[in-house]
Amino acid sequence: MIISVSRRCDIPRFQFDWFMERLDTGFVDVPNPFNRKQLRRVSLSPGDEAEDAQVLIFWTRDPRPILERGTELEERGHRFCVMTTLTTYPALLEPNPPPTEAVIAAMRELSDRFGPKRIIWRYDPVLLSNITDAAFHLRNFKALANSLSGAVSRVIISVYDEYAAAKRRLAALEQGGAFRVLPHYAGEGPGTELLPKLRGELRCMWRTLLARLAETAADAGMTMQSCAEAEDMTNLGIIPGACIDGELIRKLWGIEAAGKDKNQRPHCRCALSADIGSYGPCPAGCVYCYARR
C-alpha cells in the first residue's frame, strides 16, 4: 500500500516526531473523516507486499524535517517521495509560512541526496485576486522556478477550488475591503469545471496565464502537470497528471500501484493510497486551504 502523509494535514511540518514514533510502532490507527469513532489500522512496516508500507508520499510546506531524517528513513527500508507546496503568497493569505529560502535549500539538498524525480514542487492553488493577479503569478512563479531549477523535474499546479470553509474565509477577508477574489468559476462547489464554463475574455486570460506558467516551467527544466482539472490542457504545455503517481512509483521502484483511488475528486488521477492524516485546525493558517477546519 502507498501511504499518503498527508492530504489532510501537514504531518512533516507539524507532527513529524509523532510520525517517526508511529514508524517505531509499525502501524497507525486512522479515524474515518466522516465518523471519527471508526478507525482503520494502517501498517507502517516497510515491505513489498500489498499490506506493507510500500512507499511513503509526503505532502508538506516545510521539507526540513524530512531532510533531517531522510537517510534514517531509507536505512529503515522506507521508500519515499516529497511533494512541497511553495507559493509565497502575501501574508494576508499565508500568515505562517516557513522561510522561503530555507525551504528552497532543503528541496535542493533533498534532490542532491535522493534524486530530482522524488522531489516534487506544488504551486497550488493558483488563486487569482487583486493581490495575486496574473502579473503577480508570472513574476512569482518565475522567481521560484529559477530558484528550483535543476533540483526538481516536475511542478504540479491546480486552480483554486471553492470549498465551503475556504470560501467563507476568503469572503470574510473581502468584507475588510482590502482583498477581492477575481473570477474563477461560473458555478459553485468543488465539482464545478473551471475552463469549460468560462467564456470570452476571462477564459482567454486564464489560458494565457497557465500557458505562460508552463513555458516558464519548461525554461527551468520542469514538466508542468495539472491536479484534478477537468480540462485537458496539454495544448497549453500542461499534462494531466497524478500527485500520487503510480507510473512514477513503478519506474522508481518496480512497484505496481493498486489502481486509481476512487475516493478522490472526479478528475483526480492519483493511485490508491492510505492517508494517515486528520482534518482539523492548522497552525499555518492558509486562508484558501480546503483541509483546514
For residue 223, give Cα distances in angstroms to 16, 93, 159, 219, 226.
29, 27, 17, 10, 10
Average pLDDT value over all residues in the chain: 93
Task: Note the pLDDT tens digit of each residue in 104-145.
Answer: 999 999 999 999 999 999 999 999 999 999 999 999 999 999
Give the cell for residue 36: 471519527
Encode pLDDT of 228-249 as tens digits: 888 889 999 999 999 999 999 9
Measured CA to CA in angstroms, residue 132 lies from 96, 137, 179 at distances of 17, 6, 10
Q: What is the pTM of this model?
A: 0.94
How far, CA to CA in Å, does 119 sit from each of 25, 26, 145? 27, 25, 14
In the chain, what's the furthest Cα-to-Cα distance?
Answer: 56
Kindly tell me if the per-residue pLDDT of 188 is higher than 50: no
- Rounded CA-CA distance 184/17 in Å is 39
pLDDT at 191: 46
255, 273 Cβ separation under 8 angstroms: no
- Comparison of pLDDT for 230 and 156, the residue scoring more: 156
**pLDDT cut 90: percent of the chain above it:** 80
Q: Where are the domains of the chain?
A: 2-275
How far apart CA 228 and CA 214 sit, in angstroms, is 17
Pick among 3.80.30.30, 3.90.180.10, 3.40.50.150, 3.60.15.10: CATH of 2-275: 3.80.30.30
